[in-house]
Structure 1
Amino acid sequence: MKTYINLKTILSNEHTNASLKSIGPFTIVLFKNTPLHVNFWKVHISSTFEQYKTVLNVVVHILLKFRINFKFLNNPQDVIKLLGEKAPQSQIGKLITIYPYSVTEMKKLMRILYLALRDASGPEILTDREYKDSTTIFYRFGQIKLTTDNIIYGPNGKKFKDDRKPYFHLPDWIEDPFQRHQQATGYKLQKHYNVIGILKKDNLGNVYLGSTKGNKKIVIKQARKGMYSVYDGKEKARYREFQISKELQDKGFQQGLRPVDVINEKFSTFYIYKFQNSGSLKEYTAQHGPLVCNNKIKSILNIFRMTLSLLITVHELHQLGYENIDISNTNLS
């Protein structure tokens, strides 16, 4: 099995006071006389797939030097899983987890990591806050030794459920040692547009229903930065879709998406389109096709008219110079 680093050799030669074990896809390094807290701050390191080998080597070197407990992914396939469309939202981007023993140690470590990883980037970790303006260093307070109920007990009988929701939240008796408030992803977007709800969930980028400040409906397509995709990736696909839509609109093409705006943020780019109140061809056949419709002849005639209209539209696109067209029953309306 391909791995990024041979940590066993490094530890046996340089750090005989450290133990090495595996839990699931993670390799865990624990130092003697450095116990793990039950609940405490955790530092997460995110990275793109392409940069991860470099990031891992830099971070491991620092953690071994200061004898700080940590776990990491050492297999490329496991990295792909946590950067891909099927990763649990609460785990996206958590490629390295660091367990500082004290807040003082954590502050010192963060300063060192910030300088060492200033040229690296990675996807946003949804459960965490990023350190300063970093796109690789994140942190959160939570359980380290997990319990079945995920409850953290505080002073005076207080309780906090560490449910790893896809946003940063703290027990009310814990204070963030770095900042009191941070702007969440989407803050630029929401200066200009309202988000009404989610039309489609996707780790690589959601699709939202929204509105302008003048209450005109829009569709917002998100592209999360730094995620992994087998093909070109959602970032490139969303950009290409928007650019082609603009070109077609400028050429007088009356069908398809109607582009409005692009909002670029730290961890995501949002592409804004006019809302079109029509379902996909797949939805139409499921609701009005001859297998479910009482008037089967009318249903077949409607599908015939839609097919003819589609052929005319495809011919028009060919005339405009577009040949490789992505057509399926889910993206046609």
Structure 2
Amino acid sequence: MWLHARIVAGAAGGSRRTALPPTQGFKIHVSSAPAHAERLFDLVVPVCVESGVEFKAAADPVMLGVINSKTQERGFSGKFMTVYPPDEDVFVTLIETLHRRTAGEAVEGPYVLSDRRYRDSKVLFYRYGGFRPPRRLNIDGTQSTFLVSPDGTYVADERLPYFRLPPWVRDPFAEEPAEAAPQDTTEEPAEDPAARPAGEPAATLLNGRYRIEGALAFSNAGGVYHGTDDATRGPVVVKEARRLTNCWTSGDRTVDSVDMLRHEYDVLRRLEGLEFVPRPVDLFREWEHTFLVEERVDGIAFHDFWAQDDVILAPYIRREGRVERFVPRFREVAGRVIRMIEQVHARGVVLGDLSPNNILIDSETLRMWFIDFESAVHGDDEAALLAYGTRWGTPGFLHPDRASRDRLLPCDDWYAAAMLLYSSVVPATAFFALNPLAQDLFLDELVALGMPARVRSVVSCLTAGRVEEAKSVLAGWEDA
């Protein structure tokens, strides 16, 4: 939802409505942190009205939060306001006017990855794209938008996570000393050289030491990369955080993805020495991004392990030998998970986001590692971070009472552990919010089909926070 304004400008002898903008051209994006949105709106709107230029803006703080959130597409993020100059001359004049208007103000916003920054501005960006572009209906019911080249050819109007002009368009500020994201940052998937902007090197060296060799994941808040530490020749994982993305407010405190990455580094240091926690290596800032470097561990995702052909239980429980192969793995993994959580809690840390996405496992040895400690908290953390921990987690693995509290408790991790083990049996935990009674129904049905009742007992005990009872079940099982 947008607050979309079509400007009515004053004219001699009365008023007139400005003509609609062309179908494509240079557009101006105004980026904003939540705290600066109202001030930027007050600064930009009068300029647009005086110029008779159409614009749109995020309708409310909730929408702005979505635009800058971690899950927003990178090519669409950061665009608090969009201004549509009717031609290039107006564009050049207008963006300079807005620059002068905002230059002395204490305002800033996240970098708009699809755009080029105007001069040294922290809030003004521009790109060439569609205003009211032609659309084409795709076979799946979605629509694609297009630019039209001078010869009439339709060219896809892509919102890429880097600045790229159509081949027939000249940047009017090409000679300006505008500051753009350096080409050696890995906003592009490093394993796909064809997707890189022209001239981008095959590997990026960060902090003069960490050689980025590929991408593991991307989000609007920053990427996760793998590479090598040139100082030690050891494999590393590098997590990136972009300023003013994924912002949220607690009282007078605004927290963004950089704050959370620094917090994760602190948690890793608290847990350093535990054999199932990656060792923290470095935390540094390069250009406007912050990077956390940690030891890289080898393993596959927890859910991928249980989905392997020779491991998966449901829906193949009736197959001969299936239960017999599943039980020893379940028993060993359950015992290891409980011991790992106990050691984390002994350091005063609650994990907060324990899910199959945040555990790696060795298929042969069943050794496991916890990864991704963004939501983990310690009792000494400030109130804003404690509150954040209750809000950020994986659906299907969150304690039912969690949202009503102002901090995480150990029972949150034990409930998540129960759902983690449940997902190894049948990955249905995301549906329990719709029907909590289904937890027992699935397990009862599987027990009736031959799954040991001890599996249900371990899960039920951990769900209720009865950890010692769950350990007793496992100990008796091993002796049986």
2:77 corresponds to which letter in structure 1? I
Higher RCO (CA 8 Å, separation ≥ 6 residues): 1
Partner Cα separation in structure 2 for residue 262 and residue 308 of structure 1 = 30
2:181 corresponds to which letter in structure 1? A
After TM superposition, which residue ranges in structure 1, 4 or more long, deviate above 6 angstroms?
A: none
Q: In structure 2, what is the equivalent of residue 164 of structure 1?
A: 159
1:208-247 matches, within 5 Å, as: 208-213=225-230, 216-230=234-248, 232-247=255-270
SS of the aligned residue for 1:70 comes to: strand
Q: In structure 1, what is the equivalent of residue 64 of structure 2?
A: 79
2:260 corresponds to which letter in structure 1? A
1:272-291 matches, within 5 Å, as: 272-287=293-308, 291=313
1:144 corresponds to which letter in structure 2? F
> Which structure 1 segments of 5+ residues have no match?
1-23
- Give the superposition deviation at 1:218: 1.7
Q: In structure 2, what is the equivalent of residue 145 of structure 1?
A: 132
1:179-218 matches, within 5 Å, as: 179=174, 183-184=180-181, 187=184, 190-192=204-206, 193-213=210-230, 216-218=234-236
- Give the superposition deviation at 1:290: 7.5
Matched, 1:25 2:42: no
1:117 corresponds to which letter in structure 2? T
The 10-residue stretch of structure 1 (105-114 or 124-133) with the greater mean CA deviation from structure 2: 105-114
> Does structure 2 conserve the Cα–Cα contact (< 8 Å) formed by 1:49 and 1:83?
no
1:70 to 19, 34, 55: 55
Partner Cα separation in structure 2 for residue 228 and residue 178 of structure 1 = 30
2:45 to 60, 64, 79: 60
Matched, 1:329 2:355: yes
1:101-140 matches, within 5 Å, as: 101-118=86-103, 119-140=106-127
Q: In structure 1, what is the equivalent of residue 292 of structure 2?
A: 271
Q: 1:240 to 1:33 in 2, by over 3 A?
A: closer
Q: In structure 1, what is the equivalent of residue 343 of structure 2?
A: 313
- Give the superposition deviation at 1:211: 3.0
- TM-score relative to the length of structure 2: 0.56
Considering only aligned residues, what root-mean-square deviation do their CA atoms show, in Å? 3.0
Q: 1:57 to 1:74 in 2, by over 3 A?
A: farther
Partner Cα separation in structure 1 for residue 37 and residue 172 of structure 2 = 27
- Give the superposition deviation at 1:116: 2.7
Q: 1:325 to 1:85 in 2, by over 3 A?
A: closer
Partner Cα separation in structure 2 for residue 186 and residue 169 of structure 1 = 12
Partner Cα separation in structure 1 for residue 311 and residue 276 of structure 2 = 23
SS of the aligned residue for 2:297 comes to: coil
Q: 1:313 to 1:286 in 2, by over 3 A?
A: farther
Q: Which has the larger radius of gyration?
A: 2
1:141 corresponds to which letter in structure 2? Y
- Give the superposition deviation at 1:201: 3.1
> Does structure 2 conserve the Cα–Cα contact (< 8 Å) formed by 1:188 and 1:265?
no
